[in-house]
Structure 1
Amino acid sequence: MKNIKRFSAIAFFGLFLLIFQACDDSSETFTISAPTAPVLAELNFTDLVLDAVNTNNPAVTLNWNEADYGIQASISYAVQFSKDDVFTAPVTASAVTGRTSVTLSMSEVNTAAGNAGLNPFELKPIFIRVVSSLGSQNTEKSMSNIIQFNVYPYFNYTFKDYYLVGDATAPNWNNNSNNPALFRDPADSNRFYYTGYFGAAQFKVLEVKGLWQPQWGTNDGTTIDVNPGGGTDPGTFPKNNSSITTAGFYKFTIDFATNKFTFEPFNATGITSPASLSLQGSSTANLALSPLSFDGHIWYANSVRLTPGDVEFVTGAGDKWGSSTSFSGTATNGGGTIPVIVEDDYDVWFNDLTGQYIFIPLNL
């Protein structure tokens, strides 16, 4: 009898809660009016030349009147750049919530202009608008008026660079010890080479000096594998943790588009390194390069300031090695000057076995 009473009390209490909740439905439906679009203020200049050196300096401050949706709400704003006034392919340069102004740095404007499709080193118009929206889903978008100015972008360095590590190479297993750079193909930014001396051991490829990931290796001897971070590290080159059988000179080729590599012997017989090598030209005062003690055919200079102009690799005997491609390429004796198109600090690498060079900017 007690069990029956207890069940009845519980059932009655549940029924009471159900009736109470039905009568106390306090959900609200918000209705917004047609929004009044934000109004973007005009600027007091027409041309903006971006500073490639002081990239964190402010470039432009944009102000706009708040959009009006007829309710109290937190409004989000996206600042969009476009190379045309119909915003065929808009790029979001900045996004803020609850604010009606934003200051963009030199690098932020440069990145947005480049992503919008503007070429570097050309003064061309860029179009800007502000898009307001509500909620986390960015609904009820409203576009501001469009303003424009002419912008002169500097270079966007879009290339990736890669470095050797391992006991078959100069830095051993130190991931930040002047690790030799791979030489990028100037016609294919996914293809890299390194021709030089390798010890009878193993090696891997790193994407960032000082970091162990992303880390590249191989598990099957033909395909490259990567740990981008947080995963399992791949095996070492040349094949799944096996060592190079005989120390000597080899040509290593790796293609990050096809995920393939080759590692084959290279005949360095009769190739003599110059007694000295320097970088000369309008971009720098005469700058001496140093050979690696591990492999005297690989020359380098760390963190050297280069200004727009040109350079050549000049031997102690007076030979001048150059080419026509910036950042990376293959120099030949009498091949002309190498263009330096943007000022920055660079790590410079040169291989006298192949004539390959690479200039790696440190701040772009």
Structure 2
Amino acid sequence: MKNYNIYKFFFAIVVFLGIISCEEREELVIDSTGSPIVMDLSKESVFLDGNFPNNPALTVNWEAASYSIPTEVNYIIEASSTENFTEPYVLGTFGQSVKYATFTAVQMNNAAAGIGLPANVAGKMYLKIKSYIGTTQQLQQESNVTSVMVTPYKLVYPDFFLVGEASYVGWTASAAQILHKSENESIIYTYLEKDKNFRFLGQQDWNPINYSIDDATTDAGNRYFKQVSSNITVADHENMKFGGESGIYKVVIDADKTVQSLKITASPILAFDIPQVYLVGNVAGVNWTVESAVAMTKTGAGVFEFTTTLPADAEFKFLGQQSWGALDWGNISSTGNTGFLGPKDDNGNIKFAGDGGSYKITVNIKAGIYTIVKQ
């Protein structure tokens, strides 16, 4: 009985000390006592050279923020085109031991594009530093605002290659479909299959660059698209899923640093396995007489070919009927010879400088491309 009472006594002491300890922890409060201060920029003006993207361009030094008790402090460096930072661009994040950061030409150029500074023109970039503690960025403090004049170079936007079970090429990376690039936009009209996965590559290989949705559930190195249309969802840590009905869709990527969007909309011509396709233009003796448009030879679902001579001023289009009807394909967006197909209301004539020799013309409606190959 005495031993039992002794055990009860010690147990009570332990509980009492635990309660006191918990109360003391609850009273522990961290206060901010001093904000970070931007002490120095290595330059007052920076001329960025696209030929040397990895060269150091600007170093930012700062004095550490302080808090009422020792704690881990993190920093964010932001850039803006306005002094009030209405739309800041994050240059980088850094841990407690870091008190300076050096940015390369390409990092500064991306920041300049991100805040809307035009290429080849000197513009003012405002900089400031935020300090915070914890994973939820608590007790934020802001530094003074400073600025630097930056002359950015014209951005070279990335190439995007479509691959995946939802796509025309399947999961064959070496055959991934490149999109037609015009400045910051990459576009293609191509086949997509409902409820199947896909992604974009930066090359016709799995490495090194992959692009997916910028989401906490995807691999950090693949996060890119900040905005996607409603028919695109996260499939897994690497891929996206297409939710529309199977058919031909217009895929548009806006690679502007402030946008980085992916939009997929139905083509005016959703079908691809057309019974017959005709060639019309100043070729094969047709002379743009649509009723005489020449029938091409079908070699696969949505794939047709025709061999003919092409003059120096050759221009032509593809039709799904011997009339100016709904089934109409030409060079994507406007007259030219990009090799990419566009449907009615989003195309122009295919213009080709032939030499009077024989050429095989192939159109692949499913893939959204055409080729002209000398025989």
Q: TM-score range by the shorter chain?
A: 0.5 to 0.7
Deviation at 1:90, TM superposition (A): 1.6
Change beyond 3 A, Cα 1:194–1:133: closer
Task: Answer whether contact 1:271 1:353 (CA < 8 A) is retained.
Answer: no
Any idea what SS the aligned residue of 2:101 has?
strand
1:100 paired with 2:102, answer: no
1:162 paired with 2:158, answer: no
Any idea what the Cα deviations from partners look like across 1:279-307, whole Å, max 9, x if unmatched?
xxxxxxxxxxxxxx99786xxxxxxxxxx
Task: Answer whether contact 2:75 2:93 (CA < 8 A) is retained.
Answer: yes
Gaps of 5+ in 1: 196-202, 216-222, 240-250, 275-292, 298-314, 336-349, 359-364
Residue number in structure 2 paired with 1:228? 235
| TM-score normalised by structure 2 residue count | 0.53
Distance across 1 between alignment mates of 2:69 and 2:212? 48
Deviation at 1:129, TM superposition (A): 1.6
Residue number in structure 2 paired with 1:139? 139
1:14 paired with 2:11, answer: yes
Task: Answer whether contact 2:179 2:186 (CA < 8 A) is retained.
Answer: no
Any idea what SS the aligned residue of 1:157 has?
coil
Residue number in structure 1 paired with 2:56? 58
Residue number in structure 2 paired with 1:148? 148
Any idea what SS the aligned residue of 2:249 has?
strand
Q: Which amino acid aligns with 1:155?
A: L
Residue number in structure 1 paired with 2:128? 129
Task: Answer whether contact 1:130 1:143 (CA < 8 A) is retained.
Answer: yes
> What are the equivalent positions in structure 2 for 1:1-364 lying under 5 Å apart?
8-21=5-18, 27=25, 29=28, 32=31, 34-51=33-50, 53-69=51-67, 71-97=69-95, 98-136=97-135, 137-155=137-155, 157=157, 161-163=161-163, 175-181=172-178, 192-194=188-190, 206-208=199-201, 209-211=204-206, 228-230=235-237, 252-254=248-250, 257=263, 260=266, 262-266=270-274, 267-270=276-279, 317-319=311-313, 332=349
Any idea what SS the aligned residue of 1:62 has?
strand
Any idea what SS the aligned residue of 1:129 has?
strand
Any idea what the Cα deviations from partners look like across 1:277-336, whole Å, max 9, x if unmatched?
xxxxxxxxxxxxxxxx99786xxxxxxxxxxxxxxxxx97434889589x988564569x
Change beyond 3 A, Cα 1:259–1:11: farther
Task: Answer whether contact 2:34 2:65 (CA < 8 A) is retained.
Answer: yes
Any idea what the Cα deviations from partners look like across 1:176-207, whole Å, max 9, x if unmatched?
233344557x7996973149xxxxxxx98652
Task: Answer whether contact 1:190 1:257 (CA < 8 A) is retained.
Answer: no
Task: Answer whether contact 1:37 1:67 (CA < 8 A) is retained.
Answer: yes
Deviation at 1:81, TM superposition (A): 0.2
Distance across 1 between alignment mates of 2:83 and 2:232? 44
Change beyond 3 A, Cα 1:152–1:230: closer
Distance across 2 between alignment mates of 1:237 and 1:31? 51
Task: Answer whether contact 1:331 1:357 (CA < 8 A) is retained.
Answer: no
Distance across 2 between alignment mates of 1:30 and 1:62? 31
Change beyond 3 A, Cα 1:59–1:188: closer
Change beyond 3 A, Cα 1:179–1:18: closer
Any idea what the Cα deviations from partners look like across 1:68-89, whole Å, max 9, x if unmatched?
4465443322111000122222
Distance across 2 between alignment mates of 1:71 and 1:39? 22
Task: Answer whether contact 2:75 2:94 (CA < 8 A) is retained.
Answer: yes
Q: Which amino acid aligns with 2:189?
A: Y
Any idea what the Cα deviations from partners look like across 1:130-184, whole Å, max 9, x if unmatched?
2233444341413134122223143263785525779x96x6x561233344557
Any idea what SS the aligned residue of 1:89 has?
coil
Any idea what SS the aligned residue of 1:253 has?
strand
The alignment-based identity, stated in percent, is 14
Q: Which amino acid aligns with 2:13?
A: F
Residue number in structure 1 paired with 2:293? none
Change beyond 3 A, Cα 1:16–1:110: same
Q: Which amino acid aligns with 2:278?
A: T
Distance across 2 between alignment mates of 1:37 and 1:144? 8
Change beyond 3 A, Cα 1:317–1:159: same
Distance across 2 between alignment mates of 1:56 and 1:8? 74
Q: Which amino acid aligns with 2:152?
A: Y
Q: Which amino acid aligns with 1:176?
A: A
Distance across 1 between alignment mates of 2:128 and 2:242? 50
| TM-score normalised by structure 1 residue count | 0.55
Residue number in structure 1 paired with 2:288? none
Q: Which amino acid aligns with 2:273?
A: P
What is the root-mean-square deviation of aligned Cα atoms in Å? 5.3
Residue number in structure 1 paired with 2:324? none
Any idea what the Cα deviations from partners look like across 1:27-83, whole Å, max 9, x if unmatched?
4745656315413314434242241x4433322221223334465443322111000
Q: Which amino acid aligns with 1:111?
A: N
Task: Answer whether contact 1:132 1:141 (CA < 8 A) is retained.
Answer: yes
Task: Answer whether contact 1:123 1:153 (CA < 8 A) is retained.
Answer: no
Task: Answer whether contact 2:163 2:171 (CA < 8 A) is retained.
Answer: no
Deviation at 1:264, TM superposition (A): 3.2
Q: Which amino acid aligns with 2:188?
A: F
Q: Tell me the matched-pair count.
A: 276
